[in-house]
Structure 1
């Protein structure tokens, strides 16, 4: 029987999100559209394993859900790299004992269209155009900040993922009210609709997939998934968010209703393997405390003028 991705959590990831290719990327930028110097540099470094990148710890942990009896997580390289440079990606993965078998390399062309064929649950890339396109196509996607590499591993047996609420887990319905009419209108809007679940946002499918993965693996896998909602909402608007998750029959382990407080101080304590937010300022704040961060380029905060 052919291999199928239908029953797996599939993470599509660019080479720059998985490995530290920032020096090589500068060589690419210096080529002004000519990728041959970049290809030559990657070929010269074929036997030099690339250093771990921003998403490396997350991928390493997710692969621990696989064992000899079950393959539950599939990680696929989805990259604008050329196939020759892809050789170094696979060799680097092998050197780091990451089990990667599949990859799509498009040599400069947008790769997001292959997300459908992959049944992808998440796409991580350093290219904002590819992330926007993936989100518009309905896939959870985020632009990674390569400089936000995690410094320490305090929770080796937990995958910790933190999500913003509005425009990430939830739609930006309420965020639009807040940005256009202010806090009082936002609170009034949410209080009046407290029993009405919010529409799902771009990362609802990922939260559902993580929930399924943990349920299917059960106690057979020592790795656990711990999730947190980290939102600028405060009481009384917190209630609609909680009731929405209840309506979805999905639990989060921690919820932080911060009412405008700086998220970075709370992320420092939670120590996520990844944090997803739609607002650039929150992402940059998270990066400042070395929290691996993904910018979800969707919702009113990212509307192009």
Structure 2
């Protein structure tokens, strides 16, 4: 739906968001294929290959998984990755996509966090005071 809406707003824009699923079993693959066809979803299913080979082939901007081992492996290989936690979400929406990011190092520079880690809390506070009137350096996100 996001890609469809982007095309409506800017017809010259090609697909901006690509979703590739990496199934963990043959049974998952069969079930996923059935649902993708049933709901006419624009989702790819990765072929069976070693996990890191798949990531190097797909070159994801963001890899999300409930498998923390795979997330650590992805990060170690230089990919942006995060562990997803399963939960019972009450506010489902068919019209709104809600994504939240931690700002430091995702949306803007992580300079203050680096100062804190290298020099401690007092240096962090001083850096924040020193940089109060300075605009944050944005991290370039390609959507």
Match of 2:19 in 1: 75
Go from structure 1 to structure 2 and tell me whether the alpha carbon gap of 1:66 and 1:139 turns closer, same or farther (over 3 Å shift).
farther
Match of 1:89 in 2: 32
Superimposed CA distance per residue, residues 128-183 of structure 1 (whole angstroms, 9 cap, x where no aligned partner): 111122223222211111215452328x2x5443221224445655325435622x
Structure 1 unaligned regions, length at least 5: 1-60, 195-235, 251-305
Instruction: Give the one of 147, 150, 161 matched to 2:99.
Output: 161
Is the 1:131–1:141 Cα contact (8 Å) retained in structure 2? Answer: yes
Confirm or deny that 1:144 pairs with 2:84: yes
Is the 1:66–1:72 Cα contact (8 Å) retained in structure 2? Answer: no
Instruction: Give the one of 111, 116, 120 matched to 1:181.
Output: 120
Structure 2 unaligned regions, length at least 5: none
Is the 1:126–1:145 Cα contact (8 Å) retained in structure 2? Answer: yes
Is the 1:123–1:140 Cα contact (8 Å) retained in structure 2? Answer: yes
Go from structure 1 to structure 2 and tell me whether the alpha carbon gap of 1:160 and 1:175 turns closer, same or farther (over 3 Å shift).
same
Matches within 5 A, 1:1-305: 61-64=1-4, 65=6, 70-79=14-23, 81-106=24-49, 111-149=51-89, 151-153=91-93, 156=95, 158-170=96-108, 172-178=110-116, 181-182=120-121, 184-192=122-130, 194=131, 236=132, 240=134, 242-245=135-138
Is the 1:75–1:100 Cα contact (8 Å) retained in structure 2? Answer: yes
Go from structure 1 to structure 2 and tell me whether the alpha carbon gap of 1:132 and 1:170 turns closer, same or farther (over 3 Å shift).
farther
Classify the secondary structure of the residue corresponding to 1:146.
coil
Classify the secondary structure of the residue corresponding to 2:18.
strand
Give the TM-score normalised by structure 1. Answer: 0.37
Q: Which has the higher contact order (CA 8 A, sep 6+)?
A: 1
How far has the Cα of 1:63 moved from its partner? 4.2
Is the 2:104–2:113 Cα contact (8 Å) retained in structure 1? Answer: yes
Is the 1:83–1:105 Cα contact (8 Å) retained in structure 2? Answer: no
- For residues 165 and 84 of structure 1, the distance between their equivalents in structure 2, rounded to whole angstroms, comes to 38
- For residues 55 and 7 of structure 2, the distance between their equivalents in structure 1, rounded to whole angstroms, comes to 22
- For residues 140 and 17 of structure 2, the distance between their equivalents in structure 1, rounded to whole angstroms, comes to 22
Which structure shows the bigger proportion of residues in strand conformation?
1
Go from structure 1 to structure 2 and tell me whether the alpha carbon gap of 1:122 and 1:167 turns closer, same or farther (over 3 Å shift).
same
Go from structure 1 to structure 2 and tell me whether the alpha carbon gap of 1:73 and 1:104 turns closer, same or farther (over 3 Å shift).
same
Give the TM-score normalised by structure 2. Answer: 0.69
Provide the aligned length of Structure 1 versus Structure 2.
136
Is the 1:82–1:105 Cα contact (8 Å) retained in structure 2? Answer: no
What is the RMSD computed on CA atoms of the aligned residues? 3.3
